[in-house]
Amino acid sequence: MAHAISVEGLTKRFRRLQALDGISFQVDRATVFGLLGPNGAGKTTTVRVLATIIRPDGGRAEVLGHDVVHDPESVRASIGLAGQYAAVDPNLTALENLRLVGQLTALGRRALHERAWELLEIFGLKEAANRPVRTFSGGMRRRLDVAAALVHRPPVLFLDEPTTGLDIEGRRELWKMIRDLVQSGTTVLLTTQYLEEADRLADRIAVIDGGKVVVDDRPESLKARLGTTVLELTFSDEPTALDALTRIQSMGIQAEAERELVRITTSDSAAVLLNVLRAVDVNGAPPKAISMREPTLDDVFLAITGHHAKAREDQSRPVLSSPQPKGAP
């Protein structure tokens, strides 16, 4: 079966900044594909190329077999886009916003009316249908934004950071709606900065950084490479941390030190923690603090690239002095 989205060697330059530097990936139909990356990685640029808002400099991209450069009309007819910033009009009601979007589609008046109410129902906005959007919470606005992208029932949906700024409840609601859409056959490409979100939703995750795909894998495989828990031990100073690192590594446990911090990524946290504490207790220099947490996007970067995920927002501006990032060679 042909892919819903196919991207090959995509490049895009903004003045001196290579925003996309040869991006390639494929998205199967009726799946969620997660584009995960820090600020400035090229997520929005990729989405904008796929949504035919901007033209790439090189490479090729197809949505449902339609080329984004040579056949943008066919691409536009098959996609819905909820951009990074809510595009709904705050002075219109929810219903009016959906109608406005619908007028740009081929739907007749009656069909549009029915579709608008159907979406308000699906997205839990029926009661708020006739309220101006400026009175909505952030979560309600975001849901309406996604609803607006679905008026013409597009088989492919782009969601650019759909849950940024939402609380955990709002996120869970939106995650459920996205899962339901995919269940009914929609293909979703979403961008996010949260590993947790990509992990919960995506069938496949591409981590991008500096306009390049760093890794493209299933969440399970990604996590198997990463471990499920990150243990961090903070020592009083760097020499003590290095000493602890040596002891921990001599037990066959993978760990790394960064100044006074020792970081261990594991899938067996309880046993590993116990062994680690025994090992470092020998010289009477226990850690000052211990934390256990789920891996983040930054941990993925550390594990895969050996460096932290760093934001790259303002590189299109002239660089007067270029400070060395921490840990750069």
- For 19-61, the DSSP string reads EEEEEEEEE-TT-EEEEE--TTSSHHHHHHHHTTSS--SEEEE
Structure tokens at 298: 């930054």
- For the window 66-85, what string marks contact with Mg ion as x by the rule CB under 5 A? ------------------x-
Q: Say if strands 58-63 and 5-14 run parallel, antiparallel, or are unpaired.
A: antiparallel
Residue 7 to residue 9: CA distance in whole angstroms: 7
- For the window 261-300, what string marks contact with ligand ATP as x by the rule CB under 6 A? ----------------------------------------
Task: Output the residue with the shortest Cβ distance to Mg ion.
Answer: 44
Nearer to ligand ATP, 249 or 315 (CB): 315
Pick what 41 binds: Mg ion, ligand ATP, none; C-beta below 5 to 8 Å, kind-dependent. ligand ATP
Minimum distance, C-beta of residue 22 to ligand ATP, in the bound complex (Å):
14
Contact 218, 203 (CB under 8 A): yes
Contact 41, 84 (CB under 8 A): no
Pick what 39 binds: ligand ATP, Mg ion, none; C-beta below 5 to 8 Å, kind-dependent. ligand ATP
How many chain residues touch ligand ATP (CB under 6 A)? Answer: 17
Pick what 37 binds: ligand ATP, Mg ion, none; C-beta below 5 to 8 Å, kind-dependent. ligand ATP
Strands (E), the chain: 5-14, 17-27, 32-36, 58-63, 66-67, 79-82, 156-160, 187-192, 204-209, 212-217, 229-234, 256-258, 261-266, 289-293
Length of the chain: 329
Structure tokens at 55: 């033209």
Q: Report if residue 192 touches Mg ion, rule: CB under 5 A.
A: no
- For the window 175-204, what string marks contact with ligand ATP as x by the rule CB under 6 A? ------------------x-----------
Q: Report if residue 44 touches Mg ion, rule: CB under 5 A.
A: yes
Applying the rule CB under 6 A, the residues between 21 and 60 that interact with ligand ATP are 37, 39-45
The single residue among 169, 183, 313, 318 that binds ligand ATP, judged by CB under 6 A, is 313
- Which value, to the nearest 10 degrees, does the dihedral of the CA atoms of residues 212, 217, 219, 222 take? -80
Contact 159, 189 (CB under 8 A): yes
Interacting residues toward Mg ion by CB under 5 A: 43-44, 84
Interacting residues toward ligand ATP by CB under 6 A: 14, 17, 19, 37, 39-45, 84, 193, 312-313, 315-316
